[in-house]
Structure 1
Amino acid sequence: MDEQLLPKHSSGINGSLRETHSLRDSLVAIETLQSGASNPVEPEPKRIEEARELFRLILPVMGTTMLEFLPGFVSILLAGNIGGANSQHYVDAAAISVMLLNVTAQSLGLGLASALDTLCSQAYGAKRIDKIGIYFQTGVVVLSIALIPMLVVNSFAEPILNLLGQHTNVTYLTRDFSRLMLPGLPFLFLYELVRKVMQCQNVVKPLVVIAVIGNLVNLGAGYGLAYHTSMGFNGIAVARSLGNITLTFLLVPYFMWRPHQLRDWWGHGWNIKAAMNYVNLFVRIGCPGMVMMAVEVWAFEILAILAG
């Protein structure tokens, strides 16, 4: 009887030992996995490579921003080479017109557009590419509304500058010059919105090329219209508008060449109703950027206007 029970007892002990070994192996495996997860092996950062990558992203953005303000300097330069008895008045009028446009329009519009830096980057990081198109349309709505007072102020540059004590001959030249620069302003804002959208997707080099071409158009048209047509001084302002218009129109052949870069975020077309839902958010994020850019510009430009 005892002999019959011994095998069964021995079998039970062996089974318990197997279960114990199995449990111990499982615990060791779990500890190994946890140890590996809590102490991941990360490569040491390489400063040279990080600096190179940082400059690769910064330089195109810095270049396009500089190229957006460069036409103002070119306008003053072209005005300074017009001969005649009123040559000094031409320089003064061009400088004041450019300053007024920067203070009351360009700095405000480009600052508001900075809201897309935040909104589009978040949407792109979350893989919500369709949201980028909605945010872009919100930017179009907000900047279109903001454009109205900008156009009004620059259209009545002469009485405003007279109140600031500017010379009447200069304000007279400024009146038409400022008005002729206004048609290109909406195109500049539209280009800026597209630039923000593409920038969040790491597409910047084509926009630098477009900005360079726009500046060349401004320079070439300004030289031709100012020195070789009857438009004279006012031809410089017309060239400024043509340069800004070129920025937007060059986006058309680019997106025809790279249609997927437009289709990814513009696949559903216009949806103004959805865009209006984000107007408050856009303004809330864009206003601090607008103030920062405006203060930087105003600090220099307002002193120059008052000194005139």
Structure 2
Amino acid sequence: MGGGGSEVEAAAGEASASSSPLLHPHVLPPPPPAVGAEVRRQVALAAPLVACSLLQYSLQVVSVMFAGHLGELSLSGASVASSFANVTGFSVLLGMGSALDTFCGQSYGAKQFDMLGTHAQRAVFVLMLMGVPLAVVLAFTGQILIALGQNPEISSEAGLYALWLIPGLFAYGLLQCLTKFLQTQNIVQPLVVCSGVTLVLHILLCWVMVHCFDLGNRSAALSTSLSYWFNVILLAIYVKVSEVGRRSWPGWSRDALKLNLEYWAFEMVVLLAGFLPNPKLETSILSISLNTMWMVYTIPSGLSSAISIRVSNELGAGNPQAACLSVFISGIMCLTEGMLVAIITVLVQGTWGYLYSNEEEVVKYVATMMPILAISDFMDGIQCTLSGAARGCGWQKVCSIINLCAYYTIGIPSAVIFAFVLKIGGKVNLIFYSILL
């Protein structure tokens, strides 16, 4: 009887181990072949996602670059407007769209393909509805900035720039829905192609609009809006004609009518720079630095999307051990990427500023910021692995609470103290945020 009891207990232990939750400490490491297969799977998924994120974000970066070569005031206005638009508009839609990482990812893993279209349609409805009040806020950007005590000249220029970003706000919301809908099904190559074609046309469009029309930096903002809509049209056509798209999106459903804090914190630093002495220089430099940070951030962000997809797919399929392996592999990849990017950031510090301005003062100031950005680039790898795994598990609420505490309880107050009480300037704010990552 004793021996039989031991066998029963052993069998029960094995059953318990096989049903262990994600990241359970007693989950045994998988054999080497499984590790190699997971690495290949993540690289094949992450590389296109990184490229797609970088190409999509580059639309705003290119526009600011073209605006910067029109003069320091134009650069300051475009920088403040982009930051304000990100705080009050684009990042809101980006954060809301991230819910599809969980819903669509787990539905795809569970092979509930009909639900993919339903989730995406609900997201379209919610994001378009949310875009209306966000557009109203953007329409009054200049007045809001002046009321907050920003430089009137910069605020007026920023208000004009933000006004022409409003059409792009709605396109950006649709773009997030379509991107998440496709990438959670591991359909990434069309995303890269569409984003790449859009960026090439956007560069040409910016050049024509800036040099052939007397609209100032507003032409760069209008180019951004038009390019976002062009990207949406390309992806919508793909979903309409592709077999995979038709399978998961057979048509609009009535079910669709049932009804990002970290990004905000960084952009608020740019707005705070408007209160520093020499606001044109400080605002321009911080905007260039944060634009660079976010452009580089698209690399670990793409890796983060990959781990989110892998975790949600495996959990939806009932494979917690495979999800655990995905997190482990992603962590190694992100740390390696962070080290390489940090080294490259330091190597280009003396020349990077020329992409945004011909002013020597601006270029030299940017060069002093680049080593600080290198620290942030490395820390992003760790942060993105953890946040991607959390999104795959559906823990967005936990992530929001952590971000709220780190950036708003510690980060923003510290930035105010360092910049305005201790009179250290904008550089130390960037250092502090690199540490907070």
TM-score by length of 1: 0.75
- Who is 1:45 aligned against? 32
Please list every run of 5 or more consecutive structure 1 residues that lacks an aligned counterpart in the other structure. 1-33, 280-293
Kindly indicate whether the alpha-carbon contact (under 8 Å) linking 2:178 and 2:236 is maintained by their aligned counterparts in 1.
no
Q: Deviations over 1:254-294 (max 9, x none)?
A: 346x5312210122x2223x1233x2xxxxxxxxxxxxxx3
Q: Name which of 223, 233, 253 aligns with 1:271.
A: 253
- Who is 1:299 aligned against? 265
- 1:178-217 correspondence to structure 2 within 5 Å: 178-217=162-201
> In the alignment, residue 183 of structure 1 is paired with which amino acid?
P
Kindly indicate whether the alpha-carbon contact (under 8 Å) linking 2:209 and 2:220 is maintained by their aligned counterparts in 1.
yes
Kindly indicate whether the alpha-carbon contact (under 8 Å) linking 2:238 and 2:245 is maintained by their aligned counterparts in 1.
no
- List, as ranges, runs of 4+ consecutive aligned residues in structure 1 with deviation greater than 6 Å: none
- 1:85-234 correspondence to structure 2 within 5 Å: 87-234=71-218
Q: Deviations over 1:169-224 (max 9, x none)?
A: 11111122101111122122112111111112110111011112222222211111
Q: Name which of 56, 60, 68 aligns with 2:48.
A: 60
Please list every run of 5 or more consecutive structure 2 residues that lacks an aligned counterpart in the other structure. 1-10, 16-29, 275-437
- Who is 2:68 aligned against? 80
The residue matched to 1:250 in structure 2 has which SS?
helix
Q: Deviations over 1:28-85 (max 9, x none)?
A: xxxxxx9xx99xxxx9333444323212212222222233322222122111112xxx
Aligned residues: 249
Change (3 A) 1:188 1:199: same
Change (3 A) 1:93 1:140: same
- Who is 1:259 aligned against? 242
Cα distance between partner residues in 1 of 2:261 and 2:249:
34
For structure 1, which segment, 212-221 or 157-166, has the greater mean C-alpha deviation from structure 2 after superposition?
Answer: 212-221
1:250, distance to aligned residue in structure 2 (A): 1.1
1:244, distance to aligned residue in structure 2 (A): 0.3
Change (3 A) 1:262 1:50: closer
Q: Name which of 58, 77, 87 aligns with 1:70.
A: 58
1:253, distance to aligned residue in structure 2 (A): 4.2
1:106, distance to aligned residue in structure 2 (A): 1.0
- Who is 1:30 aligned against? none
1:142, distance to aligned residue in structure 2 (A): 1.0
Cα distance between partner residues in 2 of 1:60 and 1:259:
19
> In the alignment, residue 77 of structure 1 is paired with which amino acid?
M
Q: Deviations over 1:8-30 (max 9, x none)?
A: xxxxxxxxxxxxxxxxxxxxxxx
Pair member with larger Rg? 1
Kindly indicate whether the alpha-carbon contact (under 8 Å) linking 2:171 and 2:229 is maintained by their aligned counterparts in 1.
yes
Kindly indicate whether the alpha-carbon contact (under 8 Å) linking 1:225 and 1:232 is maintained by their aligned counterparts in 2.
no
1:109, distance to aligned residue in structure 2 (A): 0.3
Change (3 A) 1:252 1:115: closer
Cα distance between partner residues in 2 of 1:253 and 1:243:
16
Q: Deviations over 1:61-118 (max 9, x none)?
A: 2222233322222122111112xxxx21100000011101111111110111111111
Using the aligned pairs only, state the percent identity. Answer: 31
TM-score by length of 2: 0.54
Kindly indicate whether the alpha-carbon contact (under 8 Å) linking 2:66 and 2:220 is maintained by their aligned counterparts in 1.
yes
Kindly indicate whether the alpha-carbon contact (under 8 Å) linking 1:217 and 1:242 is maintained by their aligned counterparts in 2.
no
Cα distance between partner residues in 1 of 2:36 and 2:103:
30
Kindly indicate whether the alpha-carbon contact (under 8 Å) linking 2:113 and 2:248 is maintained by their aligned counterparts in 1.
yes
